């Protein structure tokens, strides 16, 4: 059995309680003893850390993410590696990321009971996501994993997108589809190159779920859901909740277009249409 994680990383980061666990990493509450501030420390799963190609990509993407400085993006403060021993006594370098600790809850938590959020709130949340994407895309970084679990809502109402860059590294290596209702964009399912418009597709899925309380496609397996993302036209949000205006239907369906050329050309364009909806104006979609 592997040795337990060290109590302190790089001589300065105290590793405290486990606050989150996902398919690829564990997140701990941490404390930066040098700057006397609470942080979040994300450490990759040890089985992923044994992949040298993944390690190199993770390192490169973590550095890219650390360069992003935007109010709607969870800040990355530092990156490093913790050397541990596996069951055979072999040393393994486990990469970690030290991030801004955000008090609040995720969009996944917000919609976990299947209840739609008010239209204005949905627009506000997705506008924050699009602002983050507009900035990251301008800096040549595609998120690749926009989903409710990666969008934080702080206790004072701010929107913070998490996991920039990590998703790209995973997509390139050992990512697997594990959730029944996982958001699988048409680009990934078709084997196309993932680009900024893939992020806009995923953002459209999030907007759909906020407006209706359910994802656009459901299935018994991740593969079944992926097939629907590729082959089936999504329902309009207003067919599920009748108070959703036609202009918002059009924004969602443009974001969810099967052909990437039919989607919004940029996060800024989608954001502009959403802001027009909020003001009761016609949209370009």
Q: Which amino acids are annotated catalytic? A: 145
Give the Cα separation of 260 and 5 in Å (integer). Answer: 44
Q: Side-chain half-sphere of 190: how many Cα atoms within 13 Å?
A: 14
Integer CA distances (angstroms), 140 to 68, 161, 196, in order: 11, 16, 9
Strand 104-106 and strand 91-100: the pairing is unpaired
Distances (CA, A) of 195 to 14, 140, 177: 37, 10, 19
Q: Among candidates 43, 54, 165, which has minimal Cα distance to 94?
A: 43
Handedness of CA 192, 198, 204, 207 (dihedral sign): positive
Nearest-angstrom CA–CA distance, 237 and 243: 9
Please provide the distance, in angstroms rounded to a whole number, between the alpha carbons at the two ends of the chain: 56
**37-44 and 13-21 beta bridge pairing:** unpaired
Beta strand pairing call for 25-32 and 8-9:
unpaired
Record the tokens describing residue 267, joined without a space: 């996060």
Closest CA to 86 of 78, 94, 77: 94
User: Nearest CA to 38 among 28, 46, 48?
Assistant: 28
């Amino acid at each position: 059995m592997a040795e337990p994680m060290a109590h302190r990383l790089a001589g300065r980061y105290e590793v405290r309680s486990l606050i989150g666990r996902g398919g690829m990493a564990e997140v701990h509450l941490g404390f930066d003893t040098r700057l006397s501030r609470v942080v979040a420390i994300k450490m990759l799963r040890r089985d992923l850390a044994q992949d040298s190609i993944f390690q190199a990509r993770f390192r490169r993407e973590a550095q890219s993410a650390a360069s992003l400085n935007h109010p709607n993006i969870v800040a990355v403060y530092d990156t490093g590696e913790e050397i541990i021993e596996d069951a055979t006594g072999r040393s393994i370098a486990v990469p970690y990321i030290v991030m801004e600790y955000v008090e609040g809850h995720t969009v996944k938590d917000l919609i976990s009971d299947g209840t739609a959020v008010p239209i204005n709130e949905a627009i506000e949340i997705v506008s924050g996501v699009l602002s983050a994407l507009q900035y990251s895309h301008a800096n040549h970084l595609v998120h690749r994993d926009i989903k409710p679990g990666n969008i934080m809502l702080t206790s004072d109402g701010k929107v913070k997108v998490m996991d920039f860059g990590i998703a790209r590294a995973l997509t390139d290596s050992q990512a697997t589809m594990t959730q029944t209702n996982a958001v699988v964009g048409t680009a990934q399912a078709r084997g196309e190159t993932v680009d900024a418009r893939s992020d806009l597709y995923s953002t459209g899925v999030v907007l759909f779920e906020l407006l209706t309380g359910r994802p656009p496609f459901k299935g018994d397996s991740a593969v079944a859901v992926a097939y629907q993302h590729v082959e089936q036209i999504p329902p309009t949000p207003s067919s599920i909740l009748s108070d959703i205006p036609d202009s918002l239907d059009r924004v969602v369906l443009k974001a969810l277009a099967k052909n990437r050329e039919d989607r919004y050309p940029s996060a800024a364009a989608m954001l502009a249409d959403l802001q027009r909806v909020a003001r009761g104006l016609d949209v370009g979609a």
